[in-house]
């Protein structure tokens, strides 16, 4: 098996330096919202994230550059380059015709039914026009070939109207080649795995569905011909990008096999050999699905190595809140407490299991874990279970506070540079204000607000101090005032 030359000069492992800013060029309708919510933002503290929207103050960005570690939103290559000192760009590409169709159906079938958007002219227009008429309208001239324009950096340039398409394509393809990562919407599974590999982040098994519209009808040959003419630049860039992406992904698999492969991976190596000659053809699976578990386990090994390289030594105590970055999956994006940052919490979902990886010292002895959790349905909260390194932890509940003892044995056979906390529920409930019935964004489990993990002796000292303090205030004052702002409640009597 000769895998030495696959993707030469392609995918690059990148450790984000302290003076670098990650910039996600979010091109609309490329599944960027799902990627941002479930795969990207958890790797940054909430204070380090700048969400760029139509209402973002451009002057504020210009006058206060480099304040954040992550900039994400509908920002072009040129705009970010003019503001930030050391941007590291990532983005997603999507089949151009499907991207424009997705925008049309989203306006027509989702936004037009939402009273908040129904009065917008672009929504009304989409709701009343046939797809091709809408795609050819004056309003859409600016969004056709949006991918090439945003990645080339020419979307807001006065020179753009005078540039030849070939110049824009050359700029866009050159920029895309320099990005350490870009994904392809039609290969989302492979994209989120490649993202984890490049930056050493915790890999996500599957990206949840998000902003899902209804099924679309097939394009007629006449419609395909019109779109081909309208989207020439994006079609050329997409074809270039797909070939480069496939090369990078196979290069990743080859690298994983070189570093972590064992004789049990021989069949995967053969499948890789078979896939290499097909790099430039089609959009089918890069590797057969039967190898997914094997590839994912190799990416997990890679994540463990990168985790160990970047982390400080084991922690003897943990006081964690969700303002921090998380090495975790199975969580919805952070939610500000009472709508006021910087205090945030997270909700498990859309699946039944949410994980957090923490560098807890295995040499201290027994620990106690305490955390605050709640749910909109009592049945969901009652089903909450916790395990650490696959060892179940028995939980005692006092209101919204849960407490459990972690035995030393939970660390005995864990050879990873972290301990894995797994929060699981038997079912999820549905947020009432989610307007897309097929979207997984509204499936929620329990809200978790903070997590403390303390050595048993320290926990007992705090528990006794808390009990003594509470006893005094039962005599001399309002107990609720005594509890407020003292130690975090540990839930033990």
Comparing 88-102, 178-192, 360-374, 471-485, which segment has the lowest mean pLDDT?
471-485
| pLDDT band per the 50, 70, 90 thresholds, residue 484 | very low
At the second CATH level, the architecture of 21-303 is 3-Layer(aba) Sandwich (3.40)
| Distances in whole angstroms, Cα of residue 131 to Cα of each of 98, 105, 113, 116, 217 | 12, 8, 18, 23, 11
Whether the pLDDT of residue 260 is over 90: the answer is yes
Look at the block and give the residue holding tokens 């897309």: 436
| Distances in whole angstroms, Cα of residue 441 to Cα of each of 112, 401, 435 | 19, 26, 10
% of the chain exceeding 70 in pLDDT: 81
Closest C-alpha among 110, 116, 139, 158 to residue 441: 110
Bridge partners of 71, per DSSP, are 23, 50
| pLDDT band per the 50, 70, 90 thresholds, residue 440 | low
* 373 three-state secondary structure: strand
Look at the block and give the residue holding tokens 């989203």: 106
Closest C-alpha among 26, 144, 121 to residue 77: 26
The 10s digit of each residue's pLDDT in 243-252 is 999 999 999 9
Contact by Cβ (8 Å): 358, 388: no
Top pLDDT among 302 and 491 is at 302
| pLDDT band per the 50, 70, 90 thresholds, residue 407 | very high
pLDDT value at residue 215: 59
Comparing 9-18, 294-303, 322-331, 378-387, which segment has the lowest mean pLDDT?
9-18
pLDDT value at residue 112: 65
From CA 3, how far away is CA 396, in angstroms rounded? 53
Most confident of 20-29, 99-108, 203-212: 20-29
Contact by Cβ (8 Å): 133, 119: no
* 423 three-state secondary structure: strand
Q: Cβ-count burial of 488 within 10 angstroms (0-12 exposed, 13-18 middle, 19+ buried)?
A: middle
| pLDDT band per the 50, 70, 90 thresholds, residue 211 | low
Top pLDDT among 160 and 315 is at 315
Whether the pLDDT of residue 335 is over 70: the answer is yes
The contacts found for 390-398 with CB under 8 angstroms, 24 or more apart, are 390/420, 390/422, 393/369, 396/491, 396/492, 397/491, 398/489, 398/491, 398/492, 398/493
| pLDDT band per the 50, 70, 90 thresholds, residue 479 | very low
Could you say which DSSP state residue 289 is in? G
From CA 160, how far away is CA 153, in angstroms rounded? 9
Contact by Cβ (8 Å): 97, 220: no
Closest C-alpha among 124, 126, 119 to residue 104: 126
The 10s digit of each residue's pLDDT in 50-108 is 998 766 656 667 777 778 999 999 899 998 998 899 999 999 999 999 998 888 887 77
Whether the pLDDT of residue 37 is over 60: the answer is yes
User: Cα dihedral angle (306, 307, 313, 316), rounded to 10 degrees?
Assistant: -170
Query: What's the whole-number mean pLDDT along residues 116-144?
Result: 73
DSSP 107-175: HHHTGGGSTTTTT-HHHHHHHHS-HHHHHTSGGGGGTTTHHHHHHHT-TT-GGGGGS-HHHHHHHHHHH
| pLDDT band per the 50, 70, 90 thresholds, residue 255 | very high
The contacts found for 261-264 with CB under 8 angstroms, 24 or more apart, are 261/298
Mean pLDDT of the chain: 85
Contact by Cβ (8 Å): 135, 223: no
Top pLDDT among 467 and 6 is at 467
Whether the pLDDT of residue 227 is over 50: the answer is yes
Query: What's the whole-number mean pLDDT along residues 2-25?
Result: 73
Top pLDDT among 484 and 207 is at 207
Most confident of 6-15, 129-138, 203-212, 447-456: 447-456
Whether the pLDDT of residue 3 is over 50: the answer is no
Whether the pLDDT of residue 465 is over 60: the answer is yes
Could you say which DSSP state residue 315 is in? B
pLDDT value at residue 136: 82
- For 423, residues 6+ apart whose C-beta sits below 8 A from its C-beta are 330, 348, 353, 354, 355, 356, 384, 385, 386, 445, 446, 448
Top pLDDT among 173 and 55 is at 173
| Distances in whole angstroms, Cα of residue 202 to Cα of each of 252, 315, 325, 395, 411 | 16, 19, 12, 27, 20
Q: What number of other Cβ atoms are within 10 A of residue 329's Cβ? A: 21
| Topology of the domain comprising 318-483 | Jelly Rolls (2.60.120)
From CA 443, how far away is CA 384, in angstroms rounded? 15
Whether the pLDDT of residue 483 is over 50: the answer is no
pLDDT value at residue 85: 92
Contact by Cβ (8 Å): 256, 11: no
pLDDT value at residue 348: 96
Residues in the chain, total: 493
| Distances in whole angstroms, Cα of residue 286 to Cα of each of 195, 279, 280, 290, 291 | 16, 8, 11, 12, 10
Domain boundaries, the chain: 21-303, 318-483
pLDDT value at residue 456: 95
From CA 29, how far away is CA 40, in angstroms rounded? 17
Query: What's the whole-number mean pLDDT along residues 7-13?
Result: 55
Comparing 5-9, 28-32, 303-307, 391-395, which segment has the lowest mean pLDDT?
5-9
pLDDT value at residue 442: 80
Most confident of 118-132, 270-284, 401-415: 401-415
Q: Which letter, b or e, does each residue of 382-398 get, where b requires 16 or more Cβ atoms within 10 Å of its Cβ?
A: ebbebbbbebebebeee
Domains 21-303 and 318-483 share a fold: no
Whether the pLDDT of residue 44 is over 50: the answer is yes
% of the chain exceeding 90 in pLDDT: 60
pLDDT value at residue 475: 47
């Amino acid at each position: 098996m000769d895998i030495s030359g696959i993707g030469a000069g392609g995918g690059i492992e990148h450790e984000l330096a302290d003076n670098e800013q990650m910039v996600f060029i979010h091109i609309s309708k490329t599944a960027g919202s799902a990627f941002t919510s479930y795969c990207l933002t958890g790797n940054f503290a909430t204070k380090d994230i700048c969400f760029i929207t139509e209402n973002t103050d451009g002057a504020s960005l210009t006058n206060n550059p480099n304040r954040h570690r992550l900039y994400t939103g509908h920002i072009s290559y040129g705009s970010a380059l003019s503001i930030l000192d050391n941007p590291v760009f990532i983005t997603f590409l999507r089949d151009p015709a499907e991207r424009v169709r997705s925008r049309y159906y989203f306006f027509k079938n989702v936004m037009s039914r939402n009273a908040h958007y129904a009065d917008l002219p672009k929504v009304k227009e989409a709701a009343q026009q046939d797809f091709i008429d809408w795609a050819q309208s004056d309003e859409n001239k600016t969004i056709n070939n949006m991918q090439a324009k945003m990645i080339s950096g020419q979307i807001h340039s006065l020179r753009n109207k005078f540039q030849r398409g070939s110049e824009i394509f050359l700029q866009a393809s050159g920029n895309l080649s320099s990005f350490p990562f870009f994904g392809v919407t039609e290969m989302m599974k492979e994209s989120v795995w490649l993202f984890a590999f490049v930056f050493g982040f915790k890999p996500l098994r599957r990206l949840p569905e998000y902003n899902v519209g209804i099924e679309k009808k097939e394009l007629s040959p006449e419609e395909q011909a019109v779109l081909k003419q309208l989207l020439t630049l994006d079609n050329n860039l997409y074809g270039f990008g797909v070939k480069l992406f496939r090369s990078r992904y196979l290069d990743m698999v080859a690298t994983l096999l070189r570093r972590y492969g064992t004789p049990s991976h021989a069949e995967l190596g053969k499948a890789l050999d078979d896939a290499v000659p097909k790099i430039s053809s089609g959009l089918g699976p890069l590797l057969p699905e039967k190898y997914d578990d094997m590839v994912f386990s190799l990416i997990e090994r890679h994540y463990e190595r990168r985790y160990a390289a970047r982390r400080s030594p084991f922690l003897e105590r943990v006081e964690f809140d969700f303002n921090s970055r998380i090495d975790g999956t199975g969580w919805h994006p952070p939610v500000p407490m009472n709508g006021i940052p910087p205090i945030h919490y997270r909700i498990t979902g859309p699946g039944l299991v949410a994980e957090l990886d923490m560098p807890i010292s295995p040499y201290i002895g027994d620990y106690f874990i305490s955390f605050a959790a709640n749910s909109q349905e009592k049945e969901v909260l009652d089903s909450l279970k916790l395990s650490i390194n696959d060892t179940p932890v028995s939980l005692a509940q006092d209101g919204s506070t849960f407490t459990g003892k972690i035995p030393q044995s939970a660390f005995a056979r864990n050879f990873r540079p972290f301990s894995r906390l797994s929060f699981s529920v038997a079912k999820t409930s549905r947020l009432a204000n989610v307007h897309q019935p097929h979207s997984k964004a509204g499936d929620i489990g329990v809200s978790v607000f903070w997590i403390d993990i303390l050595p048993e002796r320290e926990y007992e000292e705090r528990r006794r101090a808390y009990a003594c303090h509470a006893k005094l205030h039962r005599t001399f004052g309002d107990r609720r005032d005594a509890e407020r702002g003292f130690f975090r409640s540990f839930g033990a009597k």
